[in-house]
Structure 1
Amino acid sequence: MQSSYNFWLVAISFAVAMLASFTALDLTGRIFVLASARLRQAWRLGGAAALGVGIWSMHFIAMLAFSLPTPLGYDLPITAYSLALAVGASYLALFVTTQSRLTFARLALGGVLMGCAIAGMHYTGMAAMRMEPGIDYQPAWFALSIAIAIVASTAALWLARALSNDEDRFVLHKRLAAALVMAVAISGMHYVGMAAANFPVGSICGAANGVNSAWLATSVILFTFAILIVTLMMSRFDARTSFLSGAVSRLNGQIVRLATLDTLTGLPNRSTLTERIDRAIGSARRQRALFAILFMDLDGFKTINDSLGHSVGDEVLSAFAQRLLQCVRSSDTVARLGGDEFVVLSENLPSREAAGMLAEGVLERMRQGMWTDSQPLQVMPSIGIALYPQDGDTVDTLLKHADAAMYEAKRAGRGTYRFFERSMNEAATRTLQIQSALHDALAAGHFSLHFQPKFHGKGDSLAGAEALIRLEHPELGAITPLEFIPIAERSGQIVQIGNWVLRETCRQIRRWVDEGLPAMKVAINLSPRQLAQPNLVAMMLEIVRDEGVRCEQIMFEITETVAMQDAPRTIEMIREFQASGFEIAIDDFGTGYSSLAYLQRFRVKQLKIDRFFTNGLDEHGAEGSAIVSAIIALAHSLEMDVVAEGVETESQLDILKAMRCDEMQGFLLGKPLNAADFGALLRGKMVAA
């Protein structure tokens, strides 16, 4: 018999197929991310019912679009059986695609079973027409329809799994495109199956019951669209809820991380360390056990930050943190307090010596320099150790005492460790007091300058002066430079203090000139922290010019030890100072490297003999004189002037004069004087002349 199709119902059947395919893809992505096995199973069952109805409806609407010269109908039980096959095929699809692993064998088996189930649904639906005589099927077309069903099912399973990640870029667009392909495949299978069917002339539909096909088609269409859309909306709503829940969970995790971990290194932060030390105190008290706090500060880190920048400093901190983790036990806590301060909490130690061995192990491994990451280690820690219970029984006390021990390790030469001792409390308290005094000293005017006269070696005529800083605090009294200079160096305040010394020296030189006194050349000491400043020369030049003083009136002194720390850079800086009109002197010569090769390359104006060698003129007799004589001869051969420091006896003065020492200074010749007294000395020398 000649058959025909209703175009609109065919189009609607294709739309149903596409909607069912998109719903299947979306459900797969939803089910795949569910953590609960019960939830996954519930979604599989509900989704299978919705998808089964969708696929079955596509075929049923397409069948309603089909018409013959004879009335058509469908047997209800057989039709229900075809629906069950569609639901079963849908469950199989969701089950296969939502497994943790989708192997090729499982994909192939699932595609065959699902394709056969869909084909079975189609031909069972055809059988529900109960045609008399029965439908004849062309074997080639029949086989092709089953092959299409299997291939389409396999492709659908693969696409569903491939597009199961909701976080993929453009995943919804990809699912829409995949749903279009799947709808073409599903519809193609149906219409190939229909092409395989041959209805003999005169056939009668045994299931024709007179039900209006238009009404039936409308009901099925509306019912199907409603189920699929509701299912899709529930999937999207649940996905949105899960996304928001996951976002909140991740945000909570980030908040907890920020609250408990250091953002740069990933180590526990101060608050977390405090909690763990508090727990360690409770545990150690119950078990009468011993634990140690190792407080570490990186030597020379501020120089790296100042000279190479904070990004390089951050890299150094991160590298040190990772290496420190490799130096301690897995049960130890490694934390960063901030800046370049790290703490190790080591519990259940058998003895005090075990804490020392741990510190030695950290220092030894850090000294290796080159690690597996092939990056040289640029810093070493100084370590202070406090033990529970002998060094404290609270978190604050233990950390404070470990910090005090760490500063003692720095004073002992850096790159070492020290155990806390009770005497360190006084030193730590004094250090804190001086730090506080330095903080306000510049603004409050607690600093002052003294000037120690320097005399020519041939007589008592003034050659110049050395500027010496003094600190007079209203509560602490006079604080010697030996106390506050190292503290200012560690804190970085020495840079501001050094700038103040130069500016105040220039102003005093100008005052003396305004009073009609001769313009003296004044020597000023440069600290290691100042020398690390990249714009030091430009800064010094700007201060001198602002104060209206000629550069020739300022001489900068650099200690031999500091000069040799980075000799090539020192040479470059000396050249830059000299090009600007300043003179340079090497201070404390003989106490450091005493490298003749670099001394020749420095080409400075003056060489200052350390007071140790000046004292040796009396204490060591001929041997002491030989050393000083050799230094003076060496300097003169390099066309440098020589200044002897610490001249305190007449015998020293006579020997130095005999050796043709160019300049001398010391208590015998003149003690450091304040600006007014030094001005009076200048005035007296003018009158005597």
Structure 2
Amino acid sequence: MSLDQIDEHQASVLYELVQCIKNESRVSEVDCPEDTEIVTKLAEHLNLAKITVVEYASVSDEKLDNPSAVSETFDSGKEWSEPVIHRELLQDNSVVIIKAFPKKDIVLSDFEREILEIFCTNLYIVKSRIRLTTKLVRAVFYDHQLGIYSFAYGEKMISQVLQTSESSKYAVAFFNLFRFSNVNELLGRHRADEAMRAYAREFQKLFTEPEILWRVGGDNFGALFRKEHLDSFLELIQGKSIRYGRGTGEKLLISATAGIYLITENTDNRSQVIDSAMAAMASAKYDRHVRYVVFDEGLGKELEHTRRIESGFDKTVRNHEYYARYQPKVSLDGNRLIGAEALCRWKHGDKEIQPFEFIPMLEKSIRICQLDFYMLDHVCSDIAGWIKEGIEPVKVSVNFSRKHLNDEHFVERIISVLDKHSVPHELISVEFTETSSEEDYQKLKKVIFELKDNNIEAVVDDFGIGYSSLSLIAQVPFKELKIDKFFVDKITDEKSNNTIMIRNIINMAHDMNMMCIAEGVESIEQIEVLKRYGCLNVQGYYFDKPLEKEEFRTRLLSPVYDTKK
């Protein structure tokens, strides 16, 4: 029988098949025609017992009968006879074979074979579209370096979970591998990636769909998982001995710093989930120095405060509400003004807002970088003004966040500001706090040498409370070392370990031809001890509070302090 001789029932079956073919344009990974009722109807009409789809990655694999996937599209549970086989060779040299098994002892008519051929062709189209969709998903949502999902897919899955009735059973985390830059240096990029991949697999072992792990970038990751897996997740965060390398048996302890957000029944905003988890991670890493922080109400209020500070930043800058106060640096040899540190202050209307109320918040975003250069510009403008008046200026140190270390043009930008105001380079020094990681340490070394090449001095602030202090000053050409107030406060107990350490830091600075300056000096007793130990440069309330521009101008005109001091 040919297709132009079909009866009404057969025409109905063909119509349904045509509709199935038309609908295949809506194929997705979770909703495709091979799973619809029409497939079952057609299979039953054609007296099929079973339909299987076999996929081979290549023709060679087909010859070796080494399939990459085998799926049963339909199975009646009845016995079958030899199949009708439909084979398609794809452009990428992969092969799809559709096998339609008639029920035992059934002989298909020519018409049924033609229908079956159309049916198999449709299934092939469906499979091809699914393969294409899968490839697109992998291209868009996959991190090919580690073989896990990307951040974009993580965002997608968070949105999907939030739309379900069980969303409150889930948590979202972001985490950063602890000092993994050291691992890169120790093992090399390729072997470090192997270790990172092995660590990622440990998380994947915990998860079942829709729980997933994704890579944000570099050594930063995210995860969506059920709360029942939280304890196991945290065990991995706190450290896991990872076996990496093919057949080498080498092991490496890897840990991370994480921020976690526990989704509640009222959570319906993906951005809120992501921002909260990231804020918790930042708090763990930079504020509390712990392995993990779970987002809570207190952190929520802090995040909201941070958002208000950030959202109003541009307006605050336009209104010139940020300004510089100058903390004098004084030589105890003659009580003479020898320099100053520019400190950022914020005056909003009649209210003076304390630095701790806005600096830490801006430190969590790139806004701090904008503020640092805003301050440098104002300091240079002030110095240029004093020079124009014929007032002899002193060197002013300006504070810069470690975030600038990721800016390849950081030093160029500093020079540009100085040259714009025609300020001699030797009148500005750049003040950094000690770095908190090996990666920052290496970047800092590079920046300091660039500054030195351009006649700009660098100051190491808060000496003794950061990363690898002795290594830092041994390898980096700092001209000034500042002893943190934490140590100065305890210096009057001359038998304490604290004071012994201060004495040796001062001697070391002298031997390395570095100027040593003590911060936070407030009493004559501290002055006397510092003099005895040979630290003759100080800053603090004993001599002066941080001065506004005009007050500091007056001090420049009268640079020697009263001898009674």
Alignment match, 1:275:
160
What code does the residue aligned with 1:326 have? Q
Aligned equivalent of 1:409: 284
1:663 corresponds to: 537
Counting strand residues as a fraction of each chain, which structure ranks higher?
Answer: 2
Structure 1 residues 299 and 505: alpha-carbon distance in aligned structure 2, compared to 1, 3 A threshold: farther
Sort the Cα spacing of 1:454 and 1:410 in 2 relative to 1 into closer, same or farther, 3 A. Answer: same
Query: Using a 3 Å threshold, how does the CA distance of structure 1 residues 406 and 552 change in structure 2: closer, same or farther?
Result: closer
Which consecutive aligned stretches of 4+ in structure 1 deviate over 6 angstroms post-superposition? 34-43, 100-104, 234-255, 299-304, 373-379, 686-689
1:638 positional shift: 1.4
Q: Which residue is 2:103 aligned to?
A: none
Distance 1:654 1:101, change over 3 A: closer
Following TM superposition, by how much is the alpha carbon of 1:656 offset from its aligned partner in structure 2, in angstroms?
2.0
Structure 2 residue 305 is the aligned partner of structure 1 residue 430: yes
Q: Aligned match of 1:504 in 363, 378, 383? A: 378
Aligned residues of 2:322 and 2:346 also touching (Cα < 8 A): yes
CA contact (8 A) 2:170 2:226 kept: yes
2:260 corresponding residue in structure 1 = 384
Deviations 1:306-357 (A, max 9, x none): xxxxxx9xx99x959954742533256126697767242305x3xxxx6344
CA distance in 1, matches of 2:422, 2:91: 69
The 1:467/1:303 distance shift into structure 2, 3 A limit, reads farther
Q: Does 1:266 align with 2:149?
A: yes
**Cα separation, 2, equivalents of 1:574 and 1:490:** 23
Taking the aligned partners of 2:393 and 2:473, their CA distance within structure 1 comes to 30
Shift of 1:585: 2.0
1:293 aligns with 2:171: yes
Match of 1:326 among 201, 204, 226: 204
Partner of 1:551 in structure 2?
Answer: 425
Residue 344 of structure 2 aligns to a residue whose secondary structure is strand
**Aligned residues of 1:523 and 1:557 also touching (Cα < 8 A):** yes
Aligned residues of 2:238 and 2:255 also touching (Cα < 8 A): no
Q: Pairwise mapping of residues 443-462 of structure 1 onto structure 2 (< 5 A)?
A: 443-462=318-337
How far 1:243 sits from its partner (Å)?
8.5
Within 5 Å, give how 1:582-601 maps onto structure 2: 582-592=456-466, 595-596=469-470, 598-601=472-475
Q: Check if 1:360 corresponds to 2:235.
A: yes
**Partner of residue 186, structure 2:** none
Counterpart in the other structure of 1:344? 224
Amino acid at match of 2:510: H
Q: Deviations over 1:474-506 (max 9, x none)?
A: 69x544433433333332233222222222221
SS of the residue 1:418 aligns to: strand
SS in 1 for 2:491: helix
Q: Please tell me whether the aligned partners of residues 296 and 383 of structure 1 are also in contact (alpha carbons under 8 angstroms).
A: yes
Q: Identify which of 514, 531, 537 aligns with 2:388.
A: 514
Aligned twin of 2:345: 470
CA change 1:478–1:602 in 2 (3 A) is same
**Residues 298 and 380, structure 1, Cα contact 8 Å, conserved in 2:** yes
Q: Alpha carbon RMSD of aligned pairs, Å? A: 5.1
**In 1, are the aligned partners of 2:154 and 2:224 still within 8 Å (CA)?**
no
Distance (Å, rounded) in 1 between the aligned partners of 2:117 and 2:320: 71
- Secondary structure in structure 2 of the residue aligned to 1:549: coil
Shift of 1:666: 0.2
Structure 2: distance between partners of 1:410 and 1:575 = 28
Q: Which amino acid aligns with 2:260?
A: G
State percent identity of aligned pairs: 23
Alpha carbons of structure 1 residues 302 and 443: separation in structure 2 relative to 1, 3 Å: farther
Please name the residue that 1:70 is paired with.
Answer: none
Cα contact 1:453–1:462 (8 A) shared by 2? yes
Report what 2:555 is aligned to.
Answer: 681
CA distance in 2: counterparts of 1:356 and 1:165, whole angstroms: 49
**C-alpha contact (below 8 Å) 1:327/1:361 kept by paired residues:** no
Work out whether residues 384 and 420 of structure 1, in 8 Å CA contact, stay in contact via their aligned partners in 2.
yes
Q: Which runs of 5+ in 1 are unaligned?
A: 1-33, 44-99, 105-160, 171-233, 285-290, 305-311
Answering whether residue 263 of structure 2 is matched by residue 394 of structure 1, we say no
Structure 1 residues 538 and 375, CA, compared in 2 at 3 Å: closer, same or farther? Answer: farther
State the Cα distance separating 1:428 from its structure 2 match. Answer: 2.7
Matched residues in 1 for 2:316 and 2:242: separation?
Answer: 40
Contact 2:157–2:210, Cα closer than 8 Å, also in 1: no
Q: Deviations over 1:125-181 (max 9, x none)?
A: xxxxxxxxxxxxxxxxxxxxxxxxxxxxxxxxxxxx9x96454599xxxxxxxxxxx
- Alignment partners' CA distance in 2, 1:302 and 1:501: 33
From the superposition, tell whether residues 328 and 446 of structure 1 become closer, same or farther in structure 2 (CA, over 3 Å): farther
Q: How much has 1:651 moved relative to structure 2?
A: 1.4
Cα distance in structure 2, aligned partners of 1:376 and 1:165: 47
* Aligned residues of 1:299 and 1:415 also touching (Cα < 8 A): no
Measure, in 1, the Cα distance between the counterparts of 2:495 and 2:90.
Answer: 86
1:419 maps to a residue whose letter is V
Q: 1:326 to 1:533 in 2, by over 3 A?
A: same
Q: Distance in 1 between matches of 2:468 and 2:92?
A: 67
Asked if the contact 2:434/2:466 (under 8 Å) is kept, the reply is yes
Matched with 2:409 is 535
Q: Would the aligned equivalents of 2:282 and 2:364 in 1 still touch at CA under 8 Å?
A: no
Report whether the alignment pairs 1:627 with 2:501.
yes
2:505 equivalent to 1:637: no
CA contact (8 A) 2:434 2:465 kept: yes
- Alignment partners' CA distance in 1, 2:410 and 2:524: 40
> For residues 459 and 433 of structure 1, do their structure 2 counterparts lie closer, same or farther at Cα, with a shift above 3 Å needed?
same
1:664 Cα deviation from its structure 2 partner? 0.8
Contact 2:494 2:500 in 1 (8 A): no
Check whether the contact 2:425–2:455 (CA below 8 A) recurs between aligned residues: yes
- Does the Cα contact within 8 Å between 2:491 and 2:526 map onto a contact in 1? yes
User: Is 2:370 aligned against 1:485?
Assistant: no
From the superposition, tell whether residues 238 and 439 of structure 1 become closer, same or farther in structure 2 (CA, over 3 Å). farther
Any idea what SS the aligned residue of 1:586 has? strand
Instruction: Mark the CA change 1:168 to 1:648 in structure 2 (over 3 Å): closer, same or farther.
Output: closer
CA distance in 1 between partners of 2:542 and 2:356 (Å)? 22
Amino acid aligned to 1:458 = D
Give me the whole-angstrom Cα distance separating, in 2, the residues matched to 1:372 and 1:101.
32
Structure 2 distance, partners of 1:596, 1:245, is 65
State the distance in 2 between where 1:566 and 1:525 align.
16
> Alignment partner of 1:427: what SS?
helix
Q: TM-score, normalised by structure 1?
A: 0.55
Q: What are the Cα deviations for residues 85-125 of structure 1, in whole angstroms up to 9, with x where unaligned?
A: xxxxxxxxxxxxxxx98999xxxxxxxxxxxxxxxxxxxxx
Verify the 8 A CA contact 2:434 2:461 in the aligned structure 1: yes
Q: Report how far residue 382 of structure 1 moved.
A: 1.6
1:362–1:655 Cα change, 3 Å? closer
3-state secondary structure, aligned to 1:555: strand
SS in 1 for 2:544: coil
Could you tell me how far apart the structure 1 residues matched to 2:166 and 2:524 are? 64
Deviates more, 1:642-651 or 1:533-542: 533-542
1:442 correspondence with 2:317: yes
Letter in 2 for 1:358: F
User: 2: distance between equivalents of 1:625 and 1:381?
Assistant: 34
Maintained 8 Å contact 1:385/1:417 = no
Is 1:262–1:336's contact at 8 Å kept on the other side of the alignment?
A: no
Rounded to whole Å, the distance in 1 between the matches of 2:213 and 2:321 is: 38
Distance 1:565 1:338, change over 3 A: closer
Q: 2:485 aligns with which of 599, 604, 611?
A: 611
Matches within 5 A, 1:110-189: 165=88, 167-168=90-91
Letter in 1 for 2:211: T
Residue from 490, 494, 510 that aligns with 2:368: 494
